[in-house]
Structure 1
Amino acid sequence: MHHLSILLWRIFMQRFTKPLGIVISVLFVFSMFCSSDQKPKTLRNTPRELRKGLLILNFYNATPKSRSAEFEPWEYGLASMLMTDMESIGVFNIISKEAMKDVIAEQEFQQTGMIDPKTLVKLGNLVGAQYILKGSFMEMNGMLRIETQVFSVEKGVQLQTAVVNGKTDTFFALEKELVDKITQIVDVVLTETEKNVILSQIETKSVEASLKNYKGELTVEEAKKLAQAGKKEEAKKLIEEAKKDFKEAVAIDPNYEKAKKNLSKISMAIPVTL
């Protein structure tokens, strides 16, 4: 798969020679290598056609305004962590953000934090989800509260709300606790072995490294939008900012594999194309 990705990249580069095309190619390479990463082996072997569609919306950041911007990357980051863990169980089909990009309603959810069950049901039907997770978090004085409302698209109702609380620097453990509570709500009972495997799947234990990595990922997404709008110079600046964020994440936690992969992907593209 890696060799195929390199071949596709070379073909793509030959077709884009203008400045704007070059910027887009950087983002294309980053996205391509993200999608070409091998999927982790799942705990259960439920056939894809029998798995439940699960849509995880970005989290609403309820942190007080004085520190809200600091934790903004977790609006996407916590959703991403949940996607990874829920998919690893092997009973859910995770609805990708690509499938969501044309659904305008989602953006409204992220900005307001408001929940309209009827609209959520409509959203779920549009993207093929049986369940939708809509969460929020608040960081205050070194403490973190995360809650996730679990909606059943089939029943058209909110099932329950999963809530976890703890010290901010134990966010990685809180996210795992959240996974356990969510699975119970949707009647997926994890065995102790499965719980232990999920507990071992920790991206990083560093708050700072996690925030830097997800800040970088969000910056890459913003660069994509600018490039598509023809704003190549602004996109190039954001690409460099993202690279810096990934570097800092790795410097903070040298064992942070996700940040290392992101840095490798974006570094591979930038020297060649800019």
Structure 2
Amino acid sequence: MKNITVYTAMTLVLLSLFCGCAGVSKEEIKEQERPAAVSGRVSKTIAILPFENNSVTDPEKYAPLSKGLCAILIADLKNSNTTLQIVEREKIQAILKEIALGQSGSIDQATAVKAGKLLGAQSIVFGSFMVLGNNVRLDARIIKVETGEVLTAESVAGDSSGLMNIAVDLAGKIAKSMKVAFNPVPLKSSGNLDAAVYFSQGLDALDKGDKEEAKRLFSKCVKLDPAYKEQVDNVKGLSE
């Protein structure tokens, strides 16, 4: 009887110690294995690369939109109260310059992944645009940088007089595919296409270091469609 009592006591002590240690380790394991999106400790970081120009109508005229669409999408996502961390356009341009990829350079999947790794992004968006008559089409793919896999492919299209509406539609689809909220700011204009070209040319001039030419083009853009003033205000390095 005495031996049984001692054995029972020892068993209870060991179980108590084991359960205590096990409880701590389980909590630690749960915390370590919890997805970043759930724990909230790590935000989703996404980079949007310049779009390739596949325009059929006046391809040379609309070539600058490659940068402009990228900037507009970045602004749309940033202003939508999304939890996504958006890589700054200026940082993207610096990386593209580093890997010797100019505005007219074609961005394939391998190049997109390489740029994404250098930018420290978890996902990267790249694609193309097409102006055909009075219509504009945007095609985008979202790539998981770590594996290089295509997470989703999205397309939007509409009348060329509503470029801002088209861009907002695509930004919303990007946010939805990343499983984050998207609350766009109400548009003041549907988005004049020619104004978007001036805006895009201004970005290109700024990237080349010609601030005076950039200001002139941005001024023409805003004069043609005042709604683009918010886009111009988002441009960094203009007043420095």
Task: Calculate the TM-score normalised by the size of structure 2.
Answer: 0.70
Q: 1:248 aligned to 2:240? A: no
Matched with 2:64 is: 73
Deviating more after overlay: 98-107 vs 129-138: 98-107
Cα distance in 2, alignment partners of residues 168 and 142 from structure 1: 5
Matched with 1:129 is: 121
Query: 1:144-199 CA deviation, whole Å, 9 max, x = no partner?
Result: 11011001123430111110111111111111111121122222254xxx2xxx15
Q: Please say if residues 116 and 145 of structure 2, whose CA atoms lie closer than 8 Å, have aligned partners that are also in contact.
A: yes
Matched with 1:12 is: none
- The 1:108–1:181 alpha-carbon spacing in structure 2 relative to 1, beyond 3 Å, is same
Cα distance in 1, alignment partners of residues 186 and 67 from structure 2: 22
Cα distance in 2, alignment partners of residues 206 and 241 from structure 1: 21
Query: 1:207-258 CA deviation, whole Å, 9 max, x = no partner?
Result: 2222212211211211x2xxxxxxxxxxxxx544333322322321245423
SS at 1:200's partner residue? coil
Matched with 1:35 is: none
Q: 1:221 aligned to 2:212? A: no
Cα distance in 1, alignment partners of residues 194 and 140 from structure 2: 23
- The 1:174–1:134 alpha-carbon spacing in structure 2 relative to 1, beyond 3 Å, is same
Opposite residue 50 of structure 1, the aligned amino acid is: V
For 1:1-274, list aligned pairs within 5 A.
50-64=42-56, 67-88=58-79, 89-100=81-92, 101-102=94-95, 104-105=98-99, 107=101, 111-116=105-110, 119-190=111-182, 194=183, 198-201=184-187, 205-222=191-208, 224=209, 238-258=210-230, 261=233
Cα distance in 1, alignment partners of residues 192 and 199 from structure 2: 11
In structure 2, the gaps of 5 or more residues are: 1-37
The RMSD of aligned alpha carbons is 3.1
Count of matched residue positions in the alignment of Structure 1 and Structure 2: 199
Task: Calculate the TM-score normalised by the size of structure 1.
Answer: 0.62
- The 1:173–1:240 alpha-carbon spacing in structure 2 relative to 1, beyond 3 Å, is same
Q: Please say if residues 124 and 153 of structure 1, whose CA atoms lie closer than 8 Å, have aligned partners that are also in contact.
A: yes
Moved segments of 4+, more than 4 Å: 46-49, 201-204, 259-263
- The 1:157–1:205 alpha-carbon spacing in structure 2 relative to 1, beyond 3 Å, is same
Cα distance in 1, alignment partners of residues 64 and 220 from structure 2: 14
Q: Please say if residues 95 and 118 of structure 2, whose CA atoms lie closer than 8 Å, have aligned partners that are also in contact.
A: no
Query: 1:110-156 CA deviation, whole Å, 9 max, x = no partner?
Result: 5124322xx54343232210110002100011111101100112343
Matched with 1:6 is: none
In structure 1, the gaps of 5 or more residues are: 1-45, 225-237, 270-274
Give the structure with the larger helix fraction. Answer: 1
Cα distance in 1, alignment partners of residues 155 and 214 from structure 2: 32
